[in-house]
Amino acid sequence: MNQSMGILAALGTALCWAIAARLFRGTGQVFTPLAMNFWKGTISVVLLLVITLWLTPSQTIDNEALFWLLLSGVIGIGIGDTFFFKALTTIGDSQAVLVAETLAPIFTALLAMGWIAEWITWQQWLGVGIILFSVDMVIKSNKRTATHIVASKGYLFGVGAAVCQAIGAVISRDILAGGDVDAASAAMYRLIGGLALVAILIGATRTPVLPKPSVMRGQSHGRLWSTFFIATLLGTTAAIFLQMLAFAHAKAAVVQTLIATSAIMSLGVAWVMGERASWRTLIWSLAALAGVAVLVSTGNGSIE
């Protein structure tokens, strides 16, 4: 099974997330997490709907595949992102990313073996291990020195986010591997599932969806929304399309591991912006690239 396209798409997903994270940093103080999810989902669904109507106007998806894609979005995007945001607010960004991005590929690999009988080779396990360990070391190297009161439930939220990501990944892989659903349609239906849950949560909690007036003082609405749109275009629309393209061509565990390299790529984005990394961070980044090389070199093997 040729996985080259899947590997490139997964790395593209990681790059999109790394760039978008920098752009979302400024808008995250203006929108609540649920509001950000709502607008990201809404904008991306509209864009993907236009794309699917243009590229595959006559394609139909059977009800069973549609159900599983919607469920994948509810679990992986709706519940998973909510858990991740909860982890962010309780244990901080470095620890939340550390827990979620380390455990998600492992859970994905185990779930894929048990659910869809998709096994990865020992060489691919080696690549997965090298990448995840290197990503962990990079995150720890860049951990903020400020003290933080650690709440155990925050780690449970991080584990929950990883489990939800794994379930969403394996469901998507199962549906897309057959080749009956295109990546754009799969991305759109997953987003619709996640957006539906977010809308329910917004209604139940009466969360405002517009920018916070107290934070907007002195800021241009036009610049805010243009930045948010570009970040959404990269971090949600393009990223989830590439993610679905990756699942269509590569094993779920391999894809989920390569996406975890977004933490490494964010350092490259920071370097372009003028920030410099420590020698330790650079060494572990090179180690992560070695792990990617292992996955790429073994990526054309068959499912074992």
pLDDT digits (tens, 9 = 90+) for 193-218: 999 999 999 999 988 888 766 555 55
CA 224 to chain centre: 23
Structure confidence at residue 302 (pLDDT):
40
Find all residues with CB under 8 Å of 175, minimum gap 6, and list them.
65, 68, 69, 72, 181, 186
Structure confidence at residue 46 (pLDDT):
94
Residue 17, domain extent: 4-297
Find all residues with CB under 8 Å of 25, minimum gap 6, and list them.
none
Structure confidence at residue 8 (pLDDT):
92
**Amino acid identity, position 14:** A
Tell whether 261 is covered by a domain. Answer: yes
pTM: 0.86
Give the pLDDT confidence of 53-62 residue by residue, as tens digits: 887 766 778 8
Tell whether 136 is covered by a domain. Answer: yes
Supply the mean pLDDT for the chain: 84
Q: At what angle do helices 152-176 and 93-115 cross, to 10 degrees?
A: 40
Structure confidence at residue 147 (pLDDT):
38
Tell whether 252 is covered by a domain. Answer: yes
Tell whether 304 is covered by a domain. Answer: no
**Amino acid identity, position 92:** G
Are the beta carbons of 201 and 82 closer than 8 angstroms?
yes
Give the pLDDT confidence of 183-195 residue by residue, as tens digits: 999 999 999 999 9
SS3 string, 84-148, reads: HHHHHHHHCHHHHHHHHHHHHHHHHHHHHHHHCCCCCCHHHHHHHHHHHHHHHHHHHHCCCCCCC
The total of structural domains in the chain comes to 1
Region of 206 (left: φ > 0; alpha: ψ -120 to 50; beta: rest) is: left
Tell whether 286 is covered by a domain. Answer: yes
Handedness of CA 116, 117, 118, 124 (dihedral sign): positive
Q: Which residue has the tokens 């990201």?
A: 40
Are the beta carbons of 166 and 115 closer than 8 angstroms?
no
Q: At what angle do helices 33-55 and 183-205 cross, to 10 degrees?
A: 150
- DSSP class of residue 211 equals P
Q: Which residues of the chain have pLDDT under 50?
A: 1, 145-150, 301-304
Tell whether 215 is covered by a domain. Answer: yes
Find all residues with CB under 8 Å of 254, minimum gap 6, and list them.
3, 6, 7, 10, 120, 124, 128, 295, 299
CA gap 162, 79 in Å, rounded: 11
Tell whether 178 is covered by a domain. Answer: yes
Tell whether 283 is covered by a domain. Answer: yes
Q: Tell me whether residue 244 is exposed, middle or buried, using C-beta atoms within 10 angstroms of its C-beta: 0 to 12, 13 to 18, 19 or more.
A: buried
Give the pLDDT confidence of 71-83 residue by residue, as tens digits: 999 999 989 988 8
Structure confidence at residue 219 (pLDDT):
58
